């Protein structure tokens, strides 16, 4: 996959309102076989722009979402936990990651604790990496002075060292982990070398 730079005529701008206090505005154009879509996340906290890959299906431009519904693709290093009322929706969670460009690369908006389930408000957790594949395990040298922003105390408290890979865990709405939460969402927020953000 590669990206190209181009000018988008204003006639191609499409805006759609979604449930909740946020909306996505998408703009698209094609140049050869390379296509990109610009995703604007409009939240109460402000406006952030992200580049999102797009595909071509049945002669139409279709935006691909880079997030994952119903599963938690995040890892465990540099964990930041945010709760309601600071985070009220998925967009606030993405914005919180965008507000931490040097430490946040993934986010998850889900019911992460029994308290969040009881209150009926999902939490937002920010990380610097993704879930590891099943046959990968990483052991951190938490006492090494070269470590920076890895939340060593929290990693030890949560028994996340070594970090063992596993299939991406499903999100649930109940304490027993029996009712899938298809409205939970997780995904990337990547700071690109050209100054753009892909999310």
Tell the burial category of 193 from Cβ atoms under 10 Å away from its Cβ (0-12, 13-18, 19+): exposed
Contacts of 4 (CB under 8 A, 6+ apart): 31, 32, 34, 36
Confidence of residue 15 (pLDDT cuts 50, 70, 90): very low
- pLDDT given at position 20: 31
| Whether pLDDT at 128 is above 80 | yes
Please give the structure tokens belonging to residue 175.
């304490």
If you average pLDDT over each of 51-55, 117-121, 137-141, which comes out highest?
Answer: 117-121
Confidence of residue 67 (pLDDT cuts 50, 70, 90): confident
Question: 179, 197, 16, 22: which is closest to 110 by C-alpha?
Answer: 179
| Dihedral of alpha carbons 117, 174, 110, 82, sign | positive
Arithmetic mean of pLDDT over the chain: 74
Confidence of residue 65 (pLDDT cuts 50, 70, 90): low
Domain ranges across the chain: 10-63, 68-190
pLDDT digits (tens, 9 = 90+) for 83-104: 999 999 999 999 999 999 999 9
- Work out the average pLDDT over 31-57: 39
Tell the burial category of 148 from Cβ atoms under 10 Å away from its Cβ (0-12, 13-18, 19+): exposed
Distance CA 73, CA 65 (A): 14
Confidence of residue 152 (pLDDT cuts 50, 70, 90): confident
Q: pTM (2 decimals)?
A: 0.69
For the chain, percent of residues with pLDDT exceeding 90: 48
């Amino acid at each position: 996959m590669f990206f190209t730079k181009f000018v988008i005529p204003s006639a191609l701008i499409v805006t759609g309102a979604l449930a909740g206090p946020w909306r996505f505005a998408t703009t698209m154009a094609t140049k050869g076989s390379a296509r990109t879509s610009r995703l604007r996340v409009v939240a109460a906290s402000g406006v952030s722009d992200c580049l999102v890959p797009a595909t071509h299906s049945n002669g139409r431009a279709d935006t691909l979402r880079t997030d994952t519904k119903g599963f938690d693709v995040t890892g465990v290093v540099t964990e930041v936990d945010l709760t309601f009322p600071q985070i009220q929706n998925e967009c606030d969670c993405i914005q919180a990651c965008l507000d931490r460009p040097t430490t946040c690369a993934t986010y998850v908006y889900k019911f992460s604790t029994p308290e969040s389930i009881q209150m009926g408000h999902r939490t937002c957790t920010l990380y610097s990496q993704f879930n590891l594949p099943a046959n990968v395990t990483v052991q951190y040298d938490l006492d090494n002075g070269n470590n920076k922003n890895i939340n060593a105390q929290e990693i030890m408290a949560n028994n996340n060292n070594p970090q063992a890979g596993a299939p991406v865990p499903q999100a649930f709405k109940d304490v027993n982990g029996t009712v899938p939460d298809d409205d939970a969402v997780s995904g990337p927020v990547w700071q690109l070398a050209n100054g753009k953000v892909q999310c």
